[in-house]
A and B are shown apart, each in its own frame.
Chain A
Amino acid sequence: EVQLVESGGGLVQPGRSLKLSCAASGFTFSNYGMAWVCQAPTKGLEWVASISTGGGNTYYRDSVKGRFTISRDNAKNTLYLQMDSLRSEDTATYYCARDYYDGYYYVMDAWGQGASVTVSS
């Protein structure tokens, strides 16, 4: 069974940092791209960042470029999101998702339960 378990969320002051982790199991982690998607309270889904299987290619939404870093450790089957210079508008639930690639398109076919991040003084 595919499992994605996020951790590392919490309350943090504006301008500070937080690092989210996503532990993967039930599939060969190194064979899949991975992604982070966020959802602000009562709002819709927003893609945040994606990373390729080996970690060599990363992609970010404009609002987090230069502040967030997606990375992965294939030996530990773990995905990360380093969040620096946090702003109140980053307050959201952050979901880790498996990014399946069939040779033509990517689709996020499995999701974790989410980690809540609150940025407030």
Chain B
Amino acid sequence: DIVLTQSPALAVSLEQRATISCKTSQNVDNYGISYMHWYQQKPGQQPKLLIYEGSNLASGIPARFSGSGSGTDFTLTIDPVEADDIATYYCQQSKDYPRTFGGGTKLELK
């Protein structure tokens, strides 16, 4: 199985930049496509797709969210952080079955 590793938590101040990393145990790129996606989940709510294919913004997602990386190292950036962004963020790969998620990074306010 492809293991995705995220830091459990990140403390950030409003209006600052948040950088959330995701490292995979195997390359999740293929033919120039990154099979890496990012989701946001607020307490008591279902996950919401933020970024797909490593760097593409999902429909309706504000431009302060961006994704980057390739191979085994990926990053979700929120710049600037707003109060509404306090949530848990998950990376997920769809290159191989079983589909796997990172453990999630809880974004907290300093």
- Which A residues contact B (CB, under 8 angstroms)? 35, 37, 44-47, 50, 59, 61-62, 95, 104-114
Residues of B bordering A, CB below 8 Å? 30-31, 33, 35, 37, 39, 41, 45-49, 52-53, 58, 90, 92, 94-95, 97-104
SS class, residues of chain A in contact with chain B: strand
State A114–B35 Cα separation when bound (angstroms): 25
A104 touches B39 (CB 8 A): no
Query: Given A45-B104, A50-B99 in contact, is the A109-B52 Cβ separation under 8 Å?
Result: yes
Q: Which of B39, B46, B100 contacts A112 (CB 8 A)?
A: B46
24 contacts between A and B (CB under 8 A): A35-B99, A37-B47, A44-B102, A44-B104, A45-B39, A45-B41, A47-B92, A50-B97, A50-B99, A59-B98, A95-B47, A104-B31, A105-B35, A106-B94, A107-B52, A107-B53, A107-B94, A108-B47, A108-B49, A109-B58, A110-B49, A111-B46, A112-B46, A113-B46
